[in-house]
Amino acid sequence: MSTPPPPPPPPPISGYVHNVSALTEGRSPRTKFFKFDIQLANDVKKVICFSPEKRKLMSTHEGKSCKISKYEVSKHPMSDIVFKDKSEVIDETVDFERTNIETKLSQISDLQKITNNQEVYVEIKVTSKQKSETITRGTKEMIKSECMATDNTGSIRLVAWEPHSLKLGHSYHLKVRVKSFEGDKYINTTAETTFEEIEPLDISDEPTQDVNKYCIKGNIASMEIVSRHLKCTNCRKKLVNTASKVTKCQNCHMSQLTKKCHQDLTVKLHIDPIGQNQQRMFITCFSDTIATLITSDPFTLSDDELTEKILEMGEHDVTFIINPTTRICSNIQPFELTYLSS
């Protein structure tokens, strides 16, 4: 019995491209996709594409009319069309006008899955703001300000460069770029950033949970001092520990007084979570978080003294604020003193 021929492909469609989304990770990190809308004469079709290379192509067609062919009809209720590697798009003039379709907003809680350097639209409220600083880029000086951007799903760090200036407590509709540093996602304004002030969002002035971090409460079961070294005062690179009064950096070749060099400390902690359905985990702490835990300067202690003090403090309940991806601890909230006396 002969195999029936495959069904004919759906006919080409023509219309305007709208709302090309950022590239997003699927359930598997290897799977990336983006979405866009195609405005037809009397309808709007939702399109999903699992070919990341085609995003740049569709971005160049955004707001323009074109013809799409060799696509598949989607079986998923959240989309109408699947745009694939073999799918084609060519410029074509249509006999109807382009209409405005509402821009799709990204929620802050979704930004963890957005790949770096993608542009997204967000509506946020500025819930905290740091003092602006002047940064030199080549021969040009630029003003940079950092704030916490919050919506109803979470908070994220926003780095704003001049001429963009955001006011504390105000709400904005922004087109920004997703970036990351040491595993932490943040959003960044660029020369192409568009922003407009909007009606105040109904959000508390207190930042909600940072999407890059979560809290875990537990005891310190064991630990290891991974490294303890000096850093160059010029380039901040690691220096070879020496007993000499003067140290020369092997990276920038600058000499400096050893006693004035910055010190750095990296400690690995083995945490036993309390009241949570989790197994023991390793986290990484640096000198600032260790100083918070032991309430003293860790560099005044020997390795043995530091180890003993950390383990003694770790016998009590401690809350660790960590990045779930890198397992780096950004803050430690030691136990209450009243707990010790009970």
CA 168 to chain centre: 21
Closest CA to 116 of 207, 48, 245, 25: 25
Closest CA to 35 of 26, 46, 45, 43: 46
In this predicted model, what pLDDT tens digit does every residue of 121-136 receive, in sequence order?
Answer: 899 998 888 778 887 7
In this predicted model, what pLDDT tens digit does every residue of 72-96 receive, in sequence order?
Answer: 998 877 788 999 889 999 999 999 9
Higher pLDDT, 190 or 278: 190
C-beta of residue 112 within 8 angstroms of C-beta of residue 211: yes
pLDDT at 323 over 80: no
Which amino acid appears at position 154 of this protein? Answer: G
Burial class (CB in 10 A: 0-12, 13-18, 19+), 211: buried
In this predicted model, what pLDDT tens digit does every residue of 108-117 receive, in sequence order?
Answer: 888 877 878 8
pLDDT (0 to 100) of residue 143: 85
**Percent of the chain, pLDDT > 90?**
19
Instruction: Kindly state the average pLDDT of the residues 42-53.
Output: 89
Instruction: Kindly state the average pLDDT of the residues 4-23.
Output: 86
Closest CA to 285 of 276, 294, 273, 277: 294
pLDDT at 276 over 60: no
C-beta of residue 299 within 8 angstroms of C-beta of residue 259: no
pLDDT (0 to 100) of residue 277: 62
C-beta of residue 25 within 8 angstroms of C-beta of residue 32: yes
pLDDT (0 to 100) of residue 78: 72
pLDDT at 119 over 90: no
pLDDT (0 to 100) of residue 287: 86
Helices 303-313 and 287-294: angle between axes, nearest 10 degrees? 60
C-beta of residue 46 within 8 angstroms of C-beta of residue 81: yes
pLDDT (0 to 100) of residue 339: 32
Name the β-bridge partners of 158.
147, 187
Q: How far is Cα 240 from Cα 195, in angstroms, rounded to an integer?
A: 48
List of domains in the chain: 13-91 (2.40.50.140), 108-198 (2.40.50.140), 214-341 (2.40.50.140)
Higher pLDDT, 318 or 341: 318
pLDDT at 337 over 80: no
Higher pLDDT, 7 or 264: 264
Listed ranges 1-5, 25-29, 263-267; the one with the highest mean pLDDT? 263-267
* Confidence category of residue 342, pLDDT binned at 50, 70, 90: very low
C-beta of residue 193 within 8 angstroms of C-beta of residue 231: no
C-beta of residue 220 within 8 angstroms of C-beta of residue 289: no
pLDDT (0 to 100) of residue 71: 92
Closest CA to 19 of 41, 32, 36: 36
Instruction: Kindly state the average pLDDT of the residues 275-290.
Output: 79
| Alpha-carbon distances of 124 from 129, 139, 200, 209, 266, rounded to whole Å | 13, 33, 9, 14, 35
